[in-house]
Structure 1
Amino acid sequence: MSTAKRQRVAVEHAAGNAPVCYLPSVLSDAGDASPEAEQTAVKRCKYTLHSRRTQHSSVELVHAALGGQIEYVGRSDADENAGVQPCSYALAVYRPGAAKLQLLGVAGDRLFRLDSRLPGLVYAPTGAGAEDDEGSREVRKLAAKRLVDEFGSTRRRRQLTAREAGVVAADRISGGEAVKELLGEVAAKGQGEGLTKEEVQRRAFSHRTIPPHDPSATHPSAAYPLELLLGPGPEAGAGAGAAAAAEALLKDLNVGTMFKLAEDEEAAQEAAQKESVHPYVLSRLPLLRQLQRSTDPAARPRARTRARYLALLGTLLRLQAKPVLVVKEEGLASALKELRVRSEPLAEHLLAKFYVRTSDPLRGVRYERPDALKALLLGYVLAAALVLEEGFMDREQFEELRRGLKMDAPKLAQALQQLGAVCKATKLKVERDGHVLELPCYTASLLRQTDPTRPAKTLADCFPEIRLAKGPKGGR
């Protein structure tokens, strides 16, 4: 037996060769007595090779072992062959254009897994070789999140939440330095397109997750009026139609309940025990009671406006406490019970504005709230709370709202500033466990016209400033 090693054939431009390999096959002795089959041995199996150019300018090789009753067909260009073990096989390739037989090494020295397939059929890529689109990836991510929420440990849920919080996406940007950078990019792009400053600001404002508002308003109630907060949306336009739609939805809110709770303290205590009304809404009832009992003619419209915003705020806070709604019955019957609203039109309006409907074969119909709608709902809550207090919150009111929303004071102040409010840092003394502590707190004001000698400020003037990108220095 010779011990001399075979000399490996040097292949020019090995990196440019396509991934190729051969299909070994053993022909059956029975059932085929043709001379060709008898003369065919394992070492002398005939293979045909076809090559074509793909859009990536790479050669796709398809091998077919001909002979016997079975035809083996396989491909070597699938993505599932990227991480397998190395090998040192070679293949003789006949190139018709050059009329030469060239010996090539398997590019990348990879050993591929090949399956037997029937000729004439199209085999779509599956598993690791499939190319998913954006929608398929999002569906898979949502399914994985549901599995973790249902069966995962607390540590795994925290890890998934932290990973999602670290992703910077367009629908998650709602404040801080990130929104300043985004608005600056929009402003710079508008300047490059030759837009005016007003057009640039209008386009930049559209990227903010704030409720519908009137930029020219000089009073809090006019800045975030009910006809805009409860209106059909900016696509339906403003005017009498939006006001009529808002008025129809406003009748379905529990405005009468607010007046009743303000007059009957026992009913308010019962509502607090049953948790049918949010604690922050109950804490704002004393001023409504004073306005109802006042003999001042101007107190009646103020009481009516306050009761309306209290009813709206209570509904919004109830929505915020339910980020996911599971529909267990036909129609909106279960949603009406969960949201505690009295009419289907109001329930449909709230579901369409603050939820995304999903349908799952196993879990049924669900309404879920993504991060962008969470920021929008928070804007609605804060806008209603500001108008409810007629544009000013002292530190005690700010602290009550912070506890009701379970937010940090700086984050709450930052969210209020995005609505056009002016927040000033202060301290609040509270007593806990027999000790007096000073907690960081803020006061918030919206459209307070403190200087009568100057023109009245509008809501557009109170929004955080949009920093326009500066041009390059040196004239280049």
Structure 2
Amino acid sequence: MGKRKVSNKDLPEAIDLQHVEAPSTSGRTGPLAVYFPSGFQPGKHGNCTWEVHSNTARQNDHLVVARTGDVDFVGSCRSVDAAGPPICKYAVGVLDKASGVMRYAEMGTGNIVRMEPRARGVNYGPTGARTEQEDDRQARILQNKKLVHAFGSQRRKRQMEQKESAKVGDDNVAAQAAVEDLLAAAGDKAAVAKMTKDDVLKAVSNIRHIPLHHPEATTAAAAYRLEELVPEEALEALEVARLRRAVEDDSYRDDVLRAKGIFPDVVLDRLPLITKPDGPAAARRLRAMAFLGPLVSLYTGRHRLNVDSRTGGLKQLSGRMRIQEDVLRGCLGRFYNRAKGEEEGSELYSRTKEQARMLLLHLLVVALIADDYSLGARQFEALRAALKLTPQDLVAHFKELGCTCDKAALPGGDKSPLKQYKVTLLPPGTAQPPRTLADMFPKLQLARARAKK
């Protein structure tokens, strides 16, 4: 708006000031003055109707609304511009040139109200984080996931996956609920059978959430059986023939299998340990190595796998992960949850924290079978590096399976900054009667009872 020059002839020679005490339309003394930082000028850019809403519990607390077309201009006496005591006083005056009288009144709020444009139909209020409905919150979380999946960096996607896998929800507390139900049932039976505390603890500790095993077994081969660990549809699809050829042909092993990434190094490096590829023991070890490769690829891969029928479905995922299709299908059915994907024709396979743990325990048992139930220090270190675990964590998982873990040094005088171990499952001994797998499980740790004062 351009400036207008005022000539002296427009003003009377004498001006008489009169203070007005009339109440405003809001019920408070003094009028309200507003300004439009957007440049809107009432009357020039459109007509508007005015509304004033006042807080009857507080003095000079008003909300001014100017409605014009599809846009409302809203101003509050409690905005940032009006925060704190005013540094000057404002007044509104009207000059009657004929009589030379100016009637003026001090502004009721002490500040000029800033009018901000607001489009109708849009909520500009608080987000409602505390009163938000659960469905709305889940929808917002889902939209955020879609944005991260479409435009987020690999690091952001990985962080989101780790955050999701660390959540404690209905899907990953099943083991805890099962243990609580088990303890309750054991307590009821104990009351009827008049069992002692030691009898109850012994009965409960015999049930463990580990891969299928035989607690009464006295030999490693009988404790964990490979045919019970491999899914039925995957047992005959394991690529044993390739590994058997790689045992006899080093160039095929390194120039083909290793170069093309068909098997991980942790599998191919174990092949030289098989000196005689014939016989039932070698056949069992080769079959275990053939299954160890897919397990390592799945465990070190993503927690969520998308299968889209429009781009090849499970066959496309099988080729990308270099896992035989029947083997992949069996592993997905055992270690993953299946859900309908966001897009039509897609499926999402995801694993919970407990399923990831069970996948790891299956992997460790299969690695033991592949090394004839005894891992040397070098094999232990190779497996630890492939899984990106600390030696302490790996030892804890092996002990959970009933293994014996002893400190050992790398052969050939090689040095490592990390501790190395030799892991053995049910080593032969002279104890009579022979120790069973149940004897090798970690004992249940109980807190000591406090002494009575």
TM-score w.r.t. structure 2 length? 0.59
Aligned letter for 1:275?
A: G
1:412 aligns with 2:390: no
1:305 aligns with 2:284: yes
CA contact (8 A) 1:187 1:204 kept: no
CA distance in structure 1 between the aligned counterparts of 2:416 and 2:431, rounded to whole angstroms: 41
CA distance in structure 1 between the aligned counterparts of 2:375 and 2:356, rounded to whole angstroms: 23
User: Runs of 5+ in structure 2 lacking a partner?
Assistant: 1-20, 24-127
Provide the secondary structure at the position in 2 that maps to 1:423.
Answer: strand
Provide the secondary structure at the position in 2 that maps to 1:274.
Answer: coil
Provide the secondary structure at the position in 1 that maps to 2:213.
Answer: coil
Provide the secondary structure at the position in 2 that maps to 1:400.
Answer: helix
Q: Number of aligned residue pairs: give it.
A: 325
CA distance in structure 1 between the aligned counterparts of 2:144 and 2:202, rounded to whole angstroms: 40
Q: Which residue of structure 1 aligns with residue 368 of structure 2?
A: 386
CA distance in structure 2 between the aligned counterparts of 1:429 and 1:453, rounded to whole angstroms: 30
Q: Which residue of structure 1 aligns with residue 216 of structure 2?
A: 216
Which deviations, in whole Å up to 9, do the C-alpha atoms of 1:186-239 show, x marking residues without a partner?
78645643446677556556563x2111122222222221232125xxxxxxxx
Report the CA distance shift for 1:328/1:202 in structure 2 as closer, same or farther (over 3 A): farther
Which deviations, in whole Å up to 9, do the C-alpha atoms of 1:144-188 show, x marking residues without a partner?
4454455346775676567567656686689xxxx9x99997786
Q: Which residue of structure 1 aligns with residue 271 of structure 2?
A: 285
CA distance in structure 2 between the aligned counterparts of 1:395 and 1:402, rounded to whole angstroms: 10
CA contact (8 A) 1:187 1:200 kept: no
Which deviations, in whole Å up to 9, do the C-alpha atoms of 1:56-106 show, x marking residues without a partner?
xxxxxxxxxxxxxxxxxxxxxxxxxxxxxxxxxxxxxxxxxxxxxxxxxxx
CA contact (8 A) 1:187 1:469 kept: no
Aligned letter for 2:273?
A: L
Equivalent position to 1:254, from 224, 232, 239? 239
- Post-superposition shift, 1:339? 4.6
Q: Which residue of structure 2 aligns with residue 467 of structure 1?
A: 445
Provide the secondary structure at the position in 1 that maps to 2:134.
Answer: coil
Q: Which residue of structure 1 aligns with residue 432 of structure 2?
A: 454
Larger Cα-atom Rg: 2
Report the CA distance shift for 1:206/1:131 in structure 2 as closer, same or farther (over 3 A): farther
Report the CA distance shift for 1:162/1:310 in structure 2 as closer, same or farther (over 3 A): closer
CA distance in structure 1 between the aligned counterparts of 2:201 and 2:139, rounded to whole angstroms: 36
Q: Which residue of structure 2 aligns with residue 229 of structure 1?
A: 229
Q: Which residue of structure 2 aligns with residue 422 of structure 1?
A: 404
CA distance in structure 1 between the aligned counterparts of 2:441 and 2:433, rounded to whole angstroms: 17
CA contact (8 A) 1:184 1:466 kept: no
CA distance in structure 2 between the aligned counterparts of 1:166 and 1:230, rounded to whole angstroms: 27
Q: Which residue of structure 1 aligns with residue 296 of structure 2?
A: 317
- Post-superposition shift, 1:397? 1.2
CA contact (8 A) 2:300 2:387 kept: no
Report the CA distance shift for 1:146/1:416 in structure 2 as closer, same or farther (over 3 A): farther
Q: Which residue of structure 1 aligns with residue 258 of structure 2?
A: 272
Report the CA distance shift for 1:285/1:155 in structure 2 as closer, same or farther (over 3 A): closer
CA contact (8 A) 1:430 1:438 kept: no
Q: Which residue of structure 1 aligns with residue 78 of structure 2?
A: none
CA distance in structure 2 between the aligned counterparts of 1:361 and 1:163, rounded to whole angstroms: 20
Equivalent position to 1:329, from 279, 299, 309? 309
Aligned letter for 2:334?
A: K
Aligned-pair identity in percent equals 29
CA distance in structure 2 between the aligned counterparts of 1:302 and 1:406, rounded to whole angstroms: 29
Q: Which residue of structure 2 aligns with residue 354 of structure 1?
A: 335
CA contact (8 A) 2:166 2:353 kept: no
Provide the secondary structure at the position in 1 that maps to 2:283.
Answer: helix
Provide the secondary structure at the position in 1 that maps to 2:319.
Answer: helix
Q: Which residue of structure 2 aligns with residue 368 of structure 1?
A: 350
Report the CA distance shift for 1:396/1:186 in structure 2 as closer, same or farther (over 3 A): farther
Superposed counterparts of 1:3-152, under 5 Å: 129=131, 131-132=133-134, 141=141, 144-145=144-145, 147-148=147-148, 150-152=150-152
Aligned letter for 1:306?
A: R
- Post-superposition shift, 1:387? 1.7
- Post-superposition shift, 1:335? 3.6
TM-score w.r.t. structure 1 length? 0.56
Q: Which residue of structure 1 aligns with residue 34 of structure 2?
A: none
Report the CA distance shift for 1:144/1:214 in structure 2 as closer, same or farther (over 3 A): farther
Aligned letter for 1:261?
A: A
CA distance in structure 2 between the aligned counterparts of 1:317 and 1:249, rounded to whole angstroms: 15
CA distance in structure 1 between the aligned counterparts of 2:206 and 2:170, rounded to whole angstroms: 14
Aligned letter for 1:358?
A: A
Provide the secondary structure at the position in 2 that maps to 1:193.
Answer: helix
Report the CA distance shift for 1:155/1:230 in structure 2 as closer, same or farther (over 3 A): closer
Provide the secondary structure at the position in 1 that maps to 2:420.
Answer: strand
- Post-superposition shift, 1:273? 0.9
- Post-superposition shift, 1:398? 0.6
Aligned letter for 2:226?
A: L
Report the CA distance shift for 1:183/1:308 in structure 2 as closer, same or farther (over 3 A): same
User: Runs of 5+ in structure 1 lacking a partner?
Assistant: 4-125, 232-245, 293-298
CA distance in structure 1 between the aligned counterparts of 2:138 and 2:268, rounded to whole angstroms: 41
- Post-superposition shift, 1:458? 1.6
Aligned letter for 1:279?
A: D
Q: Which residue of structure 2 aligns with residue 398 of structure 1?
A: 380
Superposed counterparts of 1:181-220, under 5 Å: 189=184, 192-195=187-190, 203=204, 208=209, 210-220=210-220
Report the CA distance shift for 1:149/1:454 in structure 2 as closer, same or farther (over 3 A): farther
Provide the secondary structure at the position in 1 that maps to 2:330.
Answer: helix
Report the CA distance shift for 1:219/1:145 in structure 2 as closer, same or farther (over 3 A): farther
CA contact (8 A) 1:291 1:303 kept: yes
Provide the secondary structure at the position in 2 that maps to 1:291.
Answer: coil
Provide the secondary structure at the position in 1 that maps to 2:360.
Answer: helix
- Post-superposition shift, 1:399? 0.7
- Post-superposition shift, 1:250? 1.6
Aligned letter for 2:212?
A: P
RMSD: 4.4
Report the CA distance shift for 1:307/1:214 in structure 2 as closer, same or farther (over 3 A): same
Aligned letter for 1:315?
A: P
Report the CA distance shift for 1:341/1:273 in structure 2 as closer, same or farther (over 3 A): closer
